[in-house]
Structure 1
Amino acid sequence: MEILPDDLQAYLNNHCEPEPEALQFINRETYLKVLKPNMLSGHYQGRLLSMLSKMIQPRRILEIGTFTGYATICLAEGLTEDGLIHTIEVNTEMEEMLKKHFSLTSVEKKIVPHFGPAEQVMADLQTEVFDLVFIDADKKNNLLYFEKILNQVRSGGIIIIDNVLWKGKVYGTEKDADTESFRKLNDSIAVDTRVEKLILPVRDGILLIRKK
């Protein structure tokens, strides 16, 4: 879902860093072979994630929701030389495709995939301290994941949550469960004094959070 008009989004795509060849392939393959391919981060959002990661230069990243690995690779581009990204995917049927996609890149060895329910995997990673976290999984649990991971994020670390404008519904009159879930998330973080926060109108909305 794109919040911005198509012509503006096209202009933005044409005036940012080009999409790497491996990611172009993953983009095409996702649209050819995977249900709900619009869940892919895509060119512009991917370059934003890559730039944020490069600015932070994280040693440890956590991604909740791997999908076809596009955002994983973008985030991994900014890792330190000894850095790792732990990425969690609940759908074990994605494992073969993800292995193929990661093998196309120079960051393959920095990616540690985990398969299973996010809460379970997060419990196994509870000794890690993260510089950057990207939450893009089952939407109803966004606030739960935020609360569970905040204590493992270093001071000054960044949490990014995707889809927070939810097709524009959060600022409309819709009352469905998913929309109300995003409203609760946004409203809760807006008043959370432990963090600084900013919503960016990129694609379906990105909530950028900095831990104080």
Structure 2
Amino acid sequence: MTDIVTPELEQYCHEMTGQESAALQALAQATRDRTRYPDNMSGRLVGQTLKMLAALSNARRVLEIGMFTGYAALSIAEALPEDGEIMCCESNPRAIAIAEEFFAQAGLSHKLNVLFGMALETIPSIEGELDMVFIDADKKKYQDYLEMTLPMVRQGGLIIIDDALWKGKVLTPQDERAQAIADLNQHICQRNDVENVLLPVRHGLNIIRKR
């Protein structure tokens, strides 16, 4: 199982979702042209969802775990206030270079703070409360990322987990990553300190609000 919704319906949703900025369109094209795995990019549906959630929650300090070339990060940054900041955990120097290039072109370099290295090692260096966290990195470590960042998020803040349906494979997990995500989804909906909604956006978005 690879499609959560039919390709035709997903394409319709894509077309009926607000257009990305010129900066995001340029970054998306560069990601397709200059990387081996452009499908790792979030894309318009996820990017615009994140941008809207950041705006609705009045986010100012955001953490992204797994930046890749920065499409999701730039989407969020566009919604942050002028003094806002998105801290991004990433260990791929080539991906970081692309992200920094297009943040600069968009005039938003002052909002980007790249934390180079493995996320579980760099996250403890962050001080102060977070308004929003976006998790899109090693699926087998999703539980660790959640447990590490939830205490850092302010009351009412958001944690958004990408690939939360893992292309539909959570229904009948056949590998370690699918099982890890299925277990995490079950864990989240049973917690009393958060509320959540799991949406079939692209490969699934689990949106969590800290009580």
User: TM-score, structure 1 length as denominator?
Assistant: 0.94
1:9 Cα offset (Å): 1.7
Question: What residue number does 1:159 align with?
Answer: 159
Give, in whole Å, the separation in 2 of the partners of 1:90 and 1:26: 19
Unaligned residue ranges in structure 1 (runs of 5+): none
Structure 1 residue 150, shift from structure 2 partner: 0.6
1:39 aligns with 2:53: no
CA distance, structure 2, for counterparts of residue 59 and residue 96 of structure 1: 24
Aligned twin of 1:54: 55
Given that 1:53 and 1:77 are in contact with CA atoms closer than 8 Å, whether structure 2 keeps it comes out as no
Cα distance in 1 for partners of 2:180, 2:64 equals: 20
Matched, 1:146 2:146: yes
Q: Kindly indicate whether the alpha-carbon contact (under 8 Å) linking 1:54 and 1:77 is maintained by their aligned counterparts in 2.
A: no
Deviations 1:145-200 (A, max 9, x none): 000111110000000000010110101x3321111111111111110111001101
Which residue is 2:92 aligned to?
Answer: 91
Decide whether the 8 Å contact of 1:83 with 1:110 is kept in 2.
yes
Match of 1:81 in 2: 82
Q: Deviations over 1:9-45 (max 9, x none)?
A: 2221222211211111111111122122111111121
- Whichever residue aligns with residue 134 of structure 2, its letter is F
1:115 Cα deviation from its structure 2 partner: 0.8
State whether residues 63 and 88 of structure 1, in contact with CA within 8 Å, keep that contact through their aligned partners in structure 2: yes
TM value normalised by structure 2: 0.95
1:28 matches 2:43: no
Aligned equivalent of 1:187:
186
Contact 1:162 1:207 survives alignment (8 Å): yes
Structure 1 residues 85 and 2, CA gap change in structure 2 (3 angstroms): farther
8 Å Cα contact 1:56-1:78 kept in structure 2: no
Q: What does the per-residue CA deviation read over 1:75-102, in whole Å, with 9 as the maximum and x for residues that have no partner?
A: 1122123211111102223232222121
**Would you say the 8 A contact 1:163–1:204 is kept in 2?**
yes
Conservation of the 8 A alpha-carbon contact between 1:55 and 1:78? no
For the residue of structure 1 that corresponds to 2:80, the secondary structure is coil
Distance 1:189 1:210 in 2: 11
How far the C-alpha of 1:2 sits from its partner, in A, is: 5.1
- Equivalent position of 1:68 in the other structure: 69
- Contact 2:64 / 2:87 at 8 angstroms: preserved in 1? yes
Report sequence identity in percent.
Answer: 39
Q: Which amino acid aligns with 2:192?
A: T
Residue ranges of structure 2 left out of the alignment (5+ in a row):
none
- Count of residues paired in the alignment: 210
Q: d(CA) in 1 for partners of 2:96 and 2:131?
A: 25
| Large movers: runs of 4+ above 6 Å | none
Q: What corresponds to 2:17 in structure 1?
A: 16
